A and B are shown apart, each in its own frame.
Chain A
């Protein structure tokens, strides 16, 4: 695993980080993704997409399991990102795996909602 500095963010109540292992980029989120986190999340996902292209990764794993909550503004940033990947040419698309903690009810519900944006590209892990 090689840490990716471009995916690192530390705010007062929200943090994110990322790494890659050759074929996959792994991103984790923690804390409270409230309205203040919306822009950092948007920048993070733009950086994720840039890293996918640069590293020629075929999968992005996003780990939500340490996230206390995500609001609809942050969720919308994920929708925008997934929609963008869905709308790429097939050769440029990549798989997205969302990791949720099954014991956290909102995670199961919100991850299922995100999956409906691009069922063929998005899978859920727990």
Chain B
């Protein structure tokens, strides 16, 4: 396992981003969430937007805590001022069963017209969550207003959450 690492771009640069590579645990998830909230509140001077990034960070990292099969998880939070896009991405190794679950979950989310509609249908019990990570990702889509995507390369899963930002 590589030692934990971190890269932070100058907040004045484009992009304003940071990347962490570490073994997440419950306590560190909260620590990173607080950092994201504070960092982007300062960089963007928009506490609502920073809160959405923080919520996304927390839910993605908690999924990594629950389902990663190797110690190393990478998280990148990136604001591209030039394109006005903010992206939160996580990468971790996981098992075949969870890859199948993620695939099913994204197919399930795609069946509805909007992330809000999907989230509310889960909350009202009108639709069964595909897995325990289902509500968390649905929350990211609805409450944090993120467009979600995923990629699988071998055992490596990448979850990407993107939104527009007025930077």
Interface, chain A (partner B; CB < 8 A)? 13, 32, 34-36, 69, 71-73, 75-76, 79, 83, 104-106, 109-110, 113-114, 116-117
5 contacts between A and B (CB under 8 A): A32-B30, A35-B29, A71-B136, A73-B62, A105-B52
Contact A113 B62 (CB under 8 A): no
Instruction: Let me know if B65 is at the binding interface, CB within 8 A.
Output: yes
Which of B29, B33, B65, B139 neighbours the largest number of chain A CB atoms within 10 Å of its CB?
Answer: B139
B163 on interface, CB distance cutoff 8 Å = no
Interface SS of chain B: helix, strand, loop or mixed?
helix
User: Residues of A contacting B33 with CB < 8 Å?
Assistant: 69
Q: Which of B10-18, B98-106, B118-126 contacts A (4 or more CB under 8 A)?
A: B118-126
Selected from A34, A76, A105, A114, the residue in CB contact (under 8 A) with B29 is A34
Q: Is B128 an interface position by the 8 A CB rule?
A: no
Q: Mark B24-59, 1 if CB is under 8 A from A, else 0.
A: 001001100100000000000001100110110011
Q: How far is the CA of A113 from the CA of B119 in the complex (A)?
A: 8
Q: Inside 8 A of A104's CB, which chain B residues have their CB?
A: 51
Residue of A13, A73, A79 near B123 (CB, 8 A) is A79
Known: A34-B29, A106-B55, A116-B120. A75 touches B65 (CB 8 A): no
Chain B contacts for A114, CB-based, 8 A: 123
Q: List, in ascending order, chain B residues with CB within 8 A of A71's CB.
A: 58-59, 62, 136
Which residues of B (102-134) have their CB < 8 Å from a CB of A?
119-120, 123-125, 132
If A35-B26, A105-B48, A117-B124 touch, whether A72 touches B139 (CB-CB below 8 Å) is yes
Interface pair A76/B135, CB less than 8 Å apart: yes
Query: Within 8 Å CB of A73, what residues of B?
Result: 62, 132, 135-136
Q: From residue B28, how far is it (CB to closest CB) to chain A in Å?
A: 11
Nearest CB in chain B: distance from A103 CB, A? 8
Q: In the complex, A106→B62 CA distance in Å?
A: 17
B51 and A113 form a contact (CB under 8 A): no
0/1 interface trace, chain B 135-156, chain A, CB 8 Å (1 if under): 1100100110000000000000
